[in-house]
Amino acid sequence: MARLNGWSPRDILAHLIGWNHHIIEGSRQIQLGELPFYDIDPGENYSKVNEALVRRFRSTDRQVLIQELHSSARDLQKYLESLEPEAWAKDFGVRHGGSRVTIRDTVEELIEDYNHHRRQIQQWQSLALESPVRQE
């Protein structure tokens, strides 16, 4: 499938798989009072981080990527469920761009990212339905 706004469906899956893992590691860093590694030099709109994820999770097999997405989401869920309730919104003193960084904030950003990419996928579906299938 073609790219839409610079993203292919494979890129989106690789991106989300990676961010599920990153949120676990970043949340651990937040609890230590450290800025998550992905915020140190992310590039514009996290372009450097996202490019690395697309290279890291490079499979072109849709089933493999979907399995990795489910697995990484389960890992993130287990990690978040293991947190002490007060850690969720606690201010560990981490700041980025003048804003407080909490575990809750990072998870909410990931949720918004999932919603953004869901809308992209819906856009692809709409375009696919509008475009006639070519017989070669």
Rg (CA), the chain: 17
pTM, two decimals, is 0.87
Q: What is the pLDDT of residue 136?
A: 45
Quote the Cα angle for 107-31-111, to 5°. Answer: 0
Give the Cα separation of 107 and 34 in Å (integer).
17
pLDDT in tens, the chain (136 residues): 566 667 888 899 999 999 999 999 999 999 999 999 999 988 888 999 999 999 999 899 989 999 999 999 999 999 999 999 999 999 999 999 999 999 999 999 999 999 998 888 888 777 767 765 554 4
